Structure 1
């Protein structure tokens, strides 16, 4: 496992992880703090408060500081707008996806052919007094004239997609961006979604230089126990079994076998954090009969 240290200048947290970490639990403030600590590292502007107090954000990989210039930061959220993202603004996820896709060498010949056709058109349209020319056709020029939209059988936007579909579409884009990004040492993806499903978990692909921090509220069977952080009165990284072992020993003077402790933790997490939608009518009926 990697040890990733996230430091905002006043607080620091060590996280043991391979490529995914699920932050679940009831303490929304702790979850928010961790999410903001990650985002702060990629913030280009510095507030007067942080400047005056020398609060510099850092991310370390196994004790070695990583430059944010050598990193890529991406986000997934349930309020993603296909309509806005397909306008291909500077922060557009679709734009990042297309930039990576069109730089693939399989498109080089096609783009070169388009360039030749544009130059040929310019020559045909020239007259004795007025000459025209097109910019050299490359992926950047193509992006300026592209129109993007989501489609399966019909063109759709976020109002036509389910909650899960919106999340899965973002994951699809990010998986492709990760697969075609070779100029970054580290890619961090912050995923903030209220409910996670096994399907969503399966679609998040793990690679050597990508790390998913998933802020959610429920446990799923596809999660590995050491991929979980519990956010309660403090943050408990369940990959750090030694910390939990010694906390139990120190607080209750009780020693548990490690394998027994792991099994108990799995039962505890499954019991307390598995999502369940209640039938309100049934619950009210049973409640009134008690």
Structure 2
């Protein structure tokens, strides 16, 4: 544990904060000195005097120090508290069965989207084909195994900066990046084939293990800048409907510029 002398011997308290926080810290200090108003609490990445990473809540207050203005910074270590909060928040954003993100988190991500995207982002809606038949034939516990297996496939498919969601039942969604329509379609085709080729093996007492396969239908659309989820999902759902109507086990990528869209009437 550091003592007061250790802290006072530092050339500047900012060495305890990650360098990316320095400009904002300077702005906070300047504002506090000019106005005399304490800065609001802010949670930042922090290091102790041994260089160990921590999470700290800081508050700055202007004080009189022998007739001169001085800045007093209060640093409270909140690492455990913040980690607990993050864990609880992550749990609230996850589907219990598959551990994929849920619909609520998908809506949150849409509300945070911004126009300055370097690549094009696509929304894909995916349904497991004839899933009710799997439940009716083998029972809901087996259906849950199929859902978990499919969830693993789409989680493996997504890149670190992409997202997979379970919306409910056998309905899933993805947010993926691609440079163009063709790349997005090609990637989703790879996912479709991967699901088609995988099986869920189920042991049965006094009988041979069962191998249960499934296929998926996917409807996708490129996301326009700052559009809301409802607008984008209507296009993706239209593409998904076409995929199901025209035989299932296929990918339809909605192309607003195409002159001859498939007939869905």
TM-score bracket, normalised by the shorter chain, equals under 0.3
Larger RCO: Structure 1 or Structure 2 (Cα < 8 Å, ≥ 6 residues apart)?
1
* TM-score, length basis structure 2: 0.26
Who wins on radius of gyration, i.e. which is larger?
Answer: 2
